[in-house]
Amino acid sequence: MSLKLVKQNQELVERDKLYEQIASLVATGLSTVKEIADNLGLTFAQASILLNDPQVITILTNQTKAQGQLLFHSKVIPIVEEILRTGDNKERIASIKLLGEMTGNVKGSTNVNVQNMNLSIPVEERIKQVNSQKDNKLEKLVEESELVIDIKDLGGKVNTNE
């Protein structure tokens, strides 16, 4: 192996260590170029150039995504579960939809719109209520209309010998 390759490998190792240090510093809460520069012993200009390196940006982006995933699964899911257990009907429906989307059981475009619906009534009872309302409307319509059919108009004959 040539001396040049060894030197290149050492530079790669040093660069990778520097990237790891930056990721660690950002993870601890450092968020300014000056703070990163001071902690790594770099000038502001050097730190600015380094923080704009595509590899550094990729590392930080992946780190942010990972932190977001951890936060989501450790904090958000229990909140959604709590809403599912204790929320009002609309909140519960929304949490069911959210959990369904996250697990792939419900597509994102599914529209769940709850208006004037009492979810505490069992479905069978609700069907009976709807049918009863339909029957009542029909009876009322028949009572209100004066439907008279003259058999003579239909061409029939009236038998009066009964």
Residue 145 has pLDDT above 70, yes or no: no
Q: Record the pTM.
A: 0.49
pLDDT in tens, 32-41: 999 999 998 8
**pLDDT value of residue 141:** 58
**Sign of the torsion angle spanned by Cα atoms 6, 12, 16, 17:** positive
Degrees to nearest 5, angle at CA 134 with 132 and 138 = 115
**Sign of the torsion angle spanned by Cα atoms 51, 52, 55, 58:** positive
Domain assignment present for residue 58? The answer is: no
Domain assignment present for residue 41? The answer is: yes
Residue 153 has pLDDT above 70, yes or no: no
Percentage of residues of the chain with pLDDT beyond 70: 64
**Sign of the torsion angle spanned by Cα atoms 148, 154, 155, 160:** negative
Same domain, residue pair 79 and 42: no
**pLDDT value of residue 158:** 52
Same domain, residue pair 47 and 83: no
Domain residue limits at 41: 1-52
Same domain, residue pair 79 and 158: yes
**How would DSSP label each residue in 122-144?**
-HHHHHHHHHHHHHHHHHHHHHH
Q: Span 123-151, mean pLDDT?
A: 64
Place of tokens 């590392």: 59
Same domain, residue pair 80 and 44: no
Same domain, residue pair 41 and 99: no
Domain assignment present for residue 99? The answer is: yes
Distance from CA of residue 136 to its chain's centroid? 42
Residue 127 has pLDDT above 70, yes or no: yes
Type and span of the H or E element at 93: helix 89-103
Extract the tokens encoding 65: 């995504």
